[in-house]
Chain A
């Protein structure tokens, strides 16, 4: 088709006009694009640069090594162990389940761990997932060999807490565990370290009370991460400060001896230096292995611990509150002496019972002791003597003396759930029960029964104060990061030395006079002589009817209704060095169940190693030797003997 020239001209002009218009429009858009580029890349560049840096740089905390805990001689109690684990990175693994299946063919992975790892993988966190922990070097090398078949899997080395003397320090040092939500709630401004995965903090005992010193300060790593959070390279590193090492006043070997000596009994014992308050041993039996808790205790193991009627988890040495029984009698005696209502030679006649307020209170010895003064009253533990002098002095003076000697007050050492015990007086009863104090209450309190409650730690403090005449306080921390902790020499109690001397003599007679309640637990070595006091505290009421029938002997009662056996002592008598307290729950009589243990412990504290047989009465040496041979004590490295492991 031919077009007219005019049409052609017209068409060309139109295309030119419209083409130029099109070109202009496009140029306008290009101008907009250029302006936008300039705006973003020149005007807002800093802002975007910051966002980009924010994207790529991530600060990762480097957990510090936790401070180690040593005994007074530098033996390791709580340390850090290199621990191999296997982690899997979700990005690199591809199909996590496949890789885990292959991995479980090589490593012992429990179904529980398997499920947990899968669950974490589904959460799409960029952090590597810990699949298996505490692996042997063998396992790690198996993973390394099979690396090509295990994409994303890599071995890692970390530090984990270990307690080489496991059961010996479970109650003192406690253990660490993963940070719980409750732990975080307790803190106002939680250390960001606590939120790092697998971080562990002290849960009970010294580990938790000294947490701040032990934890140290986190270091930090500036790393470059990619879009899914994987670390590409390290940009910078700032080392943190390792936690401070702590040295305890405990002697690990004495602690071990005491733990072994208490054996399977449900018992507690405390050994204290009477000069400076250092706790040489503080033991609760039975114990448990804190390493189980660090690794995550199984349900079976945990149930076994909670269902045991000897309560291994309870720290009886500081948490347990027991009626002190006759071990309280020194308090009553000193209160009466100091009040001037008796003197050291005042005597009381004991017919086997005491009547007051229309009630009859019995002496443990049905036939009575006859006429007794302080020395025999203590050594033979005559109850009537103390009923009588308590009536004279009154409960408030006794309570005051009790508190002076460290009962009924909380001794602040870095351990968990320390009990205050109970040192009752009139005001207390009024407030607690809205009742008046009765005469019978005083009678009961005078021999450490009724309302009086004490912990083994308090009994040890009481004995140390009696031995030294000073307000000795218990001390558990020897030094922190080689900075010795302060020693409180203890102010004078202001007790008349003459009265103290009289009480000491009575206690001496307990374990050295043939008629003393702990004569069979005496020490033969002249330089190591011991002064003590036995106690037997009832956990049940003996009715008049039962008394008439004849009190059932402990051996015939079910275990949990038997009396508690107690013993407190200090030695050497001439120059007191150590005080000990022993409580054997439902052990029966203090003289038979607690005193021998107390004696052995004191001798161990005063000796270098197992006490020599010459320190024991000749007739007992064979038996003691056999007993010592049977004790399963740790070697110098804290290892248990081979026989006990089988």
Chain B
């Protein structure tokens, strides 16, 4: 179905949209963010003003953005998809030239008082564009090579720009997010099989290129891979972060060491304890119960999204919802895998929990799209 076929009368209008908001999802997101506030308060040594307070303000702002996006009909957003994609590409290019350097990579751009990370934005706009593309495309052409090539190029454009920053983590999230939309849209399994084979080849090439003139990754990225493969090899150097993170996580035990009692974070053994490694503090202070509860909250968010997407008969709405759910999933899954020593340290924040403005705002705006799709679903 397309929006032209909507029986528009059945779609809620005006203030009545509030009643159709997926409130359970709002509550879940607030709960996840609250876990973040609590942990940011803890890692700041019991001070609100350092991280927790700005984070709360940003969350409230993000919530407002989410509702604003949610109340705009989903078909408007579909029409905006191309523009949004083009805009985020431009911003990525701007970062190339005017961006601020942080952590050895160009990632931010200063827009007045706002510090924007366009790569975060690109994740959502890419999903929007691909969803719009498959909404437009004749279903029977979905697996036609030419019509597969177009979305692949659309994915690779922002990915390439992000890789040059260089930000391996975001690049991976962009590709997987885009791939998920393609997959859900019904692109043939064979393509995914081929890509998987290609990836295997690339990985081999990456390792083979190491130390040669055509080296494909930066040295620090190779070192991260080494560290990932054998963190104990260099416990005081490159492997230090991951070893300390694992110690913090494991030492939490069943019920944790108590709020603000985590020695690993309090004594600064943990790196980036308010951003990428915040999950380890949660796991240390609240133990398995705390860490697993957060995982369940995330899973519920996913479940609501998937349920909403499947129920929705609008093709764009379904694909956008699934794409955003998948992006959200990749965020927390990669972050958790990373701090638990199952994935290399690539610098992916824990969604809605890690301290950081761009990802929080962008994610909440993305959930605004999910809400909009939910509110304006064909009935």
* Cα–Cα distance between A50 and B292 once the two chains are bound (Å): 22
Residues A19 and B318 in contact in the complex (CB < 8 Å), given A1-B2, A14-B186: yes
Q: A8-B1, A18-B186, A19-B322 are in contact. List 17 more A-B contacts (CB 8 A).
A: A12-B318, A15-B184, A15-B309, A19-B309, A19-B310, A19-B318, A22-B306, A26-B302, A30-B302, A34-B292, A37-B249, A38-B292, A45-B254, A51-B250, A52-B247, A227-B269, A228-B268
Q: In the bound complex, do residue A3 and residue B2 qualify as a contact, i.e. CB atoms below 8 Å apart?
A: yes
Q: With an 8 A cutoff between CB atoms, is A36 at the interface?
A: yes
Chain B residues with CB under 8 A of A232: 267
Interface residue? B288 (CB, 8 A): yes
Inter-chain CA distance A74–B65, complex, in Å, is: 85
Residue A427, interface by CB 8 Å: no
A16 within 8 A of B: yes
Main secondary structure of the interface of A (DSSP, over half): helix
Contacts of B315 in A (CB 8 A): 11-12, 15
Contact at B4–A49, with CB atoms within 8 Å?
Answer: no
Whether B253 and A55, one on each chain, are in contact in the complex, defined by CB atoms closer than 8 angstroms, is: no
Interface flag for A612 (CB, 8 Å): no
B322: chain A residues at CB < 8 Å are 15, 19, 22
Cα(A113)–Cα(B336), bound, Å: 49
- Among A16, A44, A47, A55, which residue has the most Cβ atoms of chain B within 10 A? A55
Please, which residues of chain B bring their CB within 8 A of the CB of A22?
180, 183-184, 306, 322, 325-326
Centre residue among B292, B299, B325 by max chain A CB count within 10 A = B299
Q: Tell me whether A48 and B340 are in contact (CB under 8 A).
A: no
A44–B4 Cα distance when bound, in Å, is 58
Q: Which residues of chain A are near B185, meaning CB under 8 Å?
A: 15, 18
CB-CB contacts below 8 Å: B185-236 with A: 185-186
8 Å CB contact of A2 from B5, B250, B329: B5
* Closest A residue, CB atoms, query B315: A11
Q: Which residues of A contact B326 (CB under 8 A)?
A: 22, 26
Residues in B neighbouring A225, C-beta threshold 8 A: 267
Instruction: Tell me whether B283 is interfacial, beta carbon within 8 Å.
Output: yes
Rounded to whole angstroms, the CA-CA distance of A40 and B32 in the bound complex is 23
The yes or no answer to A557 lying at the interface (CB within 8 A) is no
Which A residues are CB-close (under 8 A) to B288?
37-38, 41-42
Give Cα A224–Cα B5 distance, bound, in whole angstroms. 69
Contact present for A42 and B263 (CB under 8 Å) = no
Q: List 19 A-B contacts (CB under 8 A).
A: A1-B2, A1-B138, A7-B140, A8-B313, A11-B315, A15-B315, A18-B183, A19-B310, A19-B322, A23-B306, A26-B306, A29-B333, A30-B302, A36-B342, A41-B253, A41-B287, A48-B251, A226-B269, A227-B269
Q: Which of chain A's residues have a CB closer than 8 A to the CB of B252?
A: 41, 45
In the assembled complex, which residues on chain B have CB atoms less than 8 Å from the CB atom of A3?
Answer: 1-2, 139
Is residue B161 contacting chain A, with contact meaning CB distance below 8 A? no
Closest residue of B by beta carbon distance from A26? B329
Contacts A49-B250, A51-B247 given; indicate if A224 touches B340 (C-beta within 8 A): no
B248 touches A52 (CB 8 A): yes
A49 & B318 in contact (Cβ 8 Å cutoff): no
Cross-chain contact A33 with B336 (CB below 8 angstroms):
yes
**With a CB–CB cut-off of 8 A, which chain B residues contact A19?**
184, 306, 309-310, 318, 322
Q: Could you tell me the distance between the alpha carbons of A20 and B306 in the complex, rounded to whole angstroms?
A: 7
Does the CB pair A48–B254 fall under 8 Å? no
Closest to A57 in B: B263
Q: Is the CB of B251 within 8 A of A227?
A: no
Q: Is A297 an interface residue (CB 8 A)?
A: no
Which A residues lie at the B interface, using CB under 8 A?
A: 1-3, 7-8, 10-12, 14-16, 18-20, 22-23, 26-27, 29-30, 32-34, 36-38, 40-42, 44-49, 51-53, 55-56, 224-228, 232
Judge whether B358 is part of the interface by a CB distance below 8 angstroms: no
Contact B136 A1 (CB under 8 A): yes
For A23, A36, A42, A53, the residue with the greatest tally of chain B CB atoms inside 10 Å of its CB is A23
A227:B267 contact, CB within 8 angstroms: yes
Q: Per a CB cutoff under 8 Å, which of A7, A30, A37 touches B291?
A: A37
Give CA–CA (A16, B319) in the complex, Å.
Answer: 10
List B contacts of A7 (CB < 8 A).
139-140
Give which listed residue, B253, B295, B313, B337, contacts A45 with CB less than 8 A: B253
Contacts of B287 in A (CB 8 A): 41
Which residues of the other chain, A, contact B183 by a CB distance below 8 angstroms?
Answer: 18, 22
| B246 CB–A CB distance under 8 Å | yes
Considering the chains assembled together, what is the distance between the CA atoms of A357 and B183 in angstroms?
122
- State A53–B284 Cα separation when bound (angstroms): 13
Also in contact, A23 and B250, with CB within 8 A (given A3-B139, A42-B288): no
Q: Contact flags (1/0) for B293-317 with A, using CB distance below 8 Å?
A: 0010011001100100110010100
- Give the chain B neighbours of A20 by CB distance below 8 A: 306, 310
A46 to nearest B CB, angstroms? 8
**Chain B contact residues (Cβ within 8 angstroms of A): what range?**
35 or more
Known: A15-B310, A23-B302, A23-B303. A55 touches B319 (CB 8 A): no
Q: Is the interface of B mostly helix, strand, loop or mixed?
A: helix
Taking CB as reference atom, which chain B residue is nearest A55? Answer: B269
B119 adjacent to chain A (CB < 8 Å) = no
> Shortest CB–CB separation between residue A50 and chain B, in angstroms?
8
Q: Does B281 contact A (CB under 8 A)?
A: no
**Contact A30 B295, beta carbon cutoff 8 Å:** yes
Q: How far is the CA of A512 from the CA of B122 in the complex (A)?
A: 116
Residue of B nearest to A47 (CB): B250
B177 to chain A: closest CB distance in Å?
12
Asked if A55 contacts B264 (CB within 8 A), the reply is yes
Digitize B267-289: 1 where CB-to-A-CB distance is under 8 Å, 0 elsewhere: 11100000000000001000110
Tell whether, in the assembled complex, residue B267 and residue A41 are in contact, meaning their CB atoms are under 8 Å apart: no
Chain B residues within an 8 Å CB radius of A29: 329, 333
- Let me know if B299 and A27 touch, CB within 8 A: yes
Select one of A26, A33, A48, A227 contacting B246, CB under 8 A. A48
| B333/A41 in contact, CB under 8 A | no
User: Are B267 and A11 touching (Cβ within 8 A)?
Assistant: no
**Chain A residue contacts of B292, Cβ below 8 A:** 34, 37-38
Contact B318 A52 (CB under 8 A): no
Q: A45 to B251, alpha carbons, bound, how many Å? A: 5
Among candidates A26, A34, A41, A53, residue contacting B254 with C-beta atoms closer than 8 Å:
A41
CB of B184 within 8 A of CB of A18, answer yes
Cβ contact within 8 Å between A2 and B2: yes
Q: Is the CB of B253 within 8 A of A49?
A: yes
Cβ B251 vs Cβ A49 within 8 A: yes
**Complex alpha-carbon distance, A12 and B322, angstroms:** 13
Contact A52 B264 (CB under 8 A): yes
A44 and B283 CA atoms in complex are apart in Å by: 13
Q: Which of B253, B310, B333 contacts A16 (CB 8 A)?
A: B310
Supposing A33-B295, A34-B295, A41-B287 touch, asked if A11 and B4 sit within 8 A by C-beta, the answer is: no
Docked Cα-Cα span, A53 to B257, in Å, equals 12
How many Å lie between the Cα of A400 and that of B329 in the bound state?
99
Cβ contact within 8 Å between A40 and B186: no
Tell me the smallest distance from the CB of A234 to a CB of chain B, in Å. Answer: 14
Chain A's closest residue to B284 (CB) is A52
Provide the residues of chain B in CB contact with A41, threshold 8 Å: 249-250, 252-254, 283, 287-288, 291
A33–B341 Cα distance when bound, in Å, is 11
* Chain B min CB distance to A189 (Å): 28
* Known A27-B299, A37-B291; contact A56-B184, beta-carbon cutoff 8 A: no
Instruction: For the complex, give the distance between the alpha carbons of A37 and B333 in Å.
Output: 12
B21: min CB distance to chain A, Å: 21
Rounded to whole Å, the gap between the CB of B201 and the closest CB of chain A is: 23
What residues of chain A lie closer than 8 Å to B333, measured between beta carbons?
26, 29-30, 33
For the complex, give the distance between the alpha carbons of A226 and B248 in Å.
14
Distance between Cα atoms of A34 and B138 in the complex (Å): 41
Compute how far the CA of A86 lies from the CA of B177 in the bound complex, rounded to whole angstroms.
59
Q: How far does the alpha carbon of A10 sit from the alpha carbon of B185 in the complex, in Å?
A: 11
Inter-chain CA distance A86–B348, complex, in Å, is: 45
B263 and A55 within 8 A (CB): yes
- Taking a contact as CB atoms closer than 8 A, the residue among A15, A23, A51, A56 that contacts B318 in the complex is A15
Bound together, the chains give a CA A2 to CA B288 distance in angstroms of 52
Residues of the B chain whose Cβ atoms lie less than 8 Å from the Cβ of A23: 302-303, 306
Give the most central of A10, A22, A42, A47: most B CB within 10 Å: A22
